[in-house]
Amino acid sequence: MLDFARSPAVDFPARPFQALLRRDTRNRYALFAKKADGEGFPQVAKLFRAAAAAEAIHRETHKAAIVELGGRIENFQLAEVVPASTAENLRAAIKGETYERDTMYPEFLKAAKADEATAAIRSFTFAVTAEKEHAKLYQQALDQLGKNPPADYFVCQVCGMTLTALPAKRCPSCRASRDEYKQIT
Ligand SMILES: [Fe+2]
Ligand SMILES: [Fe+2]
């Protein structure tokens, strides 16, 4: 059993988890969705809502992992988010997701594996798998901005995986039943 207080990697998993909770992409994307609706991009707004729903699930999985690893969830003030234009918001979202996919989660996963912190490995893996999809979907939305074709979004309530069609049987990321998928409207 991992001894959180004496974790060999200094302040792991506290530091990665606190950094994740502070990033709060859930809140950011929810605000970007409102902005997209206001600017007349309902399809992009729907994508931001889907990603926000996924990030909310990641947040809960990360919190559960903190508790499982014997850590404490600190209280803090969230940084204020001021949305820019939808094109800018999409660019910022792509930058954020790309950083998470290529740099942040790989580093966190390395630390979690060194620590054999199973709960952290699981929640980081769920998150990074979904972030890859978010980066792709955001890039598409930016490329097609103003003429975004209608699309549906489905979010796995277990792992936050975000898809444009329901999986045939199981979630491709966490293997939960397709019944765990919720359509975002
Ligand atoms: Fe994401
Ligand atoms: Fe899943």
pLDDT tens, position by position, 66-97: 888 888 787 778 888 999 999 999 999 999 99
Number of the ligand closest to the Cα of 59:
1
Q: Is the pLDDT of residue 178 over 70?
A: yes
What residue spans define the domains of the chain? 7-147
CA of 107 to the centre of ligand 1 (A): 17
- What count of residues does the chain have? 185
Find the 54 Cα to ligand 2 centroid distance in Å: 10
3-state secondary structure of 156: strand
Q: Determine how many CB atoms are found less than 10 A away from the CB of residue 120.
A: 27
CA 6–ligand 1 middle distance (angstroms): 31
At a CB cut-off of 8 Å and minimum separation 6, what does 102 contact? Answer: none
Nearest ligand to residue 158 Cα: 2
Looking at all shown ligands, the one closest to residue 135's CA atom is 1
Q: How far is the CA of 67 from the centre of ligand 1 (A)?
A: 22
The alpha carbon dihedral of 1, 12, 56, 118 has a sign of negative
Backbone angles phi, psi at 87, to 5 degrees: -60, -45
Is residue 55 very low, low, confident or very high in pLDDT (cuts 50, 70, 90)? very high
* Percent of the residues in the chain that have a pLDDT greater than 70, as a whole number: 92
Residue 59 CA to ligand 2 center (angstroms) comes to 14
Residue 86 backbone phi and psi in degrees, to 5 = -60, -40
User: What's the 10 CA to ligand 1 centre distance in angstroms?
Assistant: 27
pLDDT at residue 7 tops 70: no
pTM of the model: 0.92
What is the pLDDT at residue 9?
43
* Helix boundaries (H) for 39-185: 42-68, 86-99, 105-114, 118-143
Tell me the pLDDT band of 101, cut-offs 50, 70 and 90: very high
Most confident of 11-20, 28-37, 57-66: 28-37
**Is the distance from CB of 166 to CB of 154 less than 8 angstroms?**
yes
Domain 7-147: which CATH number of 1.20.1260.10, 3.40.50.1100, 2.40.40.20, 1.10.10.10: 1.20.1260.10
Q: How far is CA 7 from CA 1, 3, 118, in A?
A: 11, 6, 13
Q: Check if the beta carbon of residue 163 is closer than 8 Å to that of residue 129.
A: no
